[in-house]
A and B are shown apart, each in its own frame.
Chain A
Amino acid sequence: DTGVSQDPRHKITKRGQNVTFRCDPISEHNRLYWYRQTLGQGPEFLTYFQNEAQLEKSRLLSDRFSAERPKGSFSTLEIQRTEQGDSAMYLCASSLAGDRDGSGNTIYFGEGSWLTVV
């Protein structure tokens, strides 16, 4: 059972450039989440998918951000016209809806993709 994998792990880009991150969730998981974490803070929710449907987006997700999960498996998060304030770690997580132990949703995180905008 491989965990959630993210690529690239680190990205340095110039202000104004576009960047794209990829997330591969745990294989049987139908829910996929994106979070953003800045230094000294806990992760903040950005968006989530159930299968290929994007069901919720945070107000943090400006028009420059777009996320897709076209086949209900991997997901991409694209940031257009990057700004210095976008520098953060972007965390992907996945979970299995309706897990049978009735314990509610537990989400499993990847190792994150660090973005530095210079």
Chain B
Amino acid sequence: AQSVTQLGSHVSVSEGALVLLRCNYSSSVPPYLFWYVQYPNQGLQLLLKYTSAATLVKGINGFEAEFKKSETSFHLTKPSAHMSDAAEYFCAVSPLYNFNKFYFGSGTKLNVKP
């Protein structure tokens, strides 16, 4: 069975500081991996995805994530936080054998302090 663990339900950073949001997955076969962002009262917007090509994936709004098979991780980073990055971020996996089903982590709320 697939599962996704996001360490830290709340992360707070200062504007301009590094953003690091953690995601670990459990799967015997590396799945497809995604990061989505959700602003209050809105749906989810795709930030980036890993699909077995380059392990370092660049997404929108300056975010990137690195797939590390040995660590079963797909952490999301951004070098310099902006106030507009405050939102909730979800990591998701999609198994290769059934990529119609996405499994989401419980989310990390990012707070950006001025």
Tell yes or no: B92 within 8 A of A by CB.
Answer: yes
A41 with B106, Cβ < 8 A, contacts A103-B51, A106-B34 known: yes
Nearest CB on A from B25, distance (A): 13
Nearest CB on A from B67, distance (A): 13
Interface stretch of the complex, out of A11-19, A59-67, A71-79, A107-115: A107-115
**Chain A residues whose C-beta falls within 8 Å of the C-beta of B49 in the assembled complex:** 103-104, 106
A107 with B51, Cβ < 8 A, contacts A43-B90, A112-B43 known: no
Q: Can you list 10 contacts pairing A with B, beta carbon distance less than 8 Å?
A: A35-B102, A48-B101, A102-B51, A103-B49, A104-B51, A105-B32, A106-B46, A109-B45, A110-B43, A112-B41
10 cross-chain pairs, A with B, having the tightest CB-CB distances, nearest first: A42-B104, A109-B43, A103-B51, A111-B43, A109-B44, A105-B99, A104-B32, A104-B51, A112-B43, A43-B104
B interface residue numbers (CB < 8 A to A): 4, 9, 32, 34, 36, 41-46, 49, 51, 53, 90, 92, 94, 96, 99-107
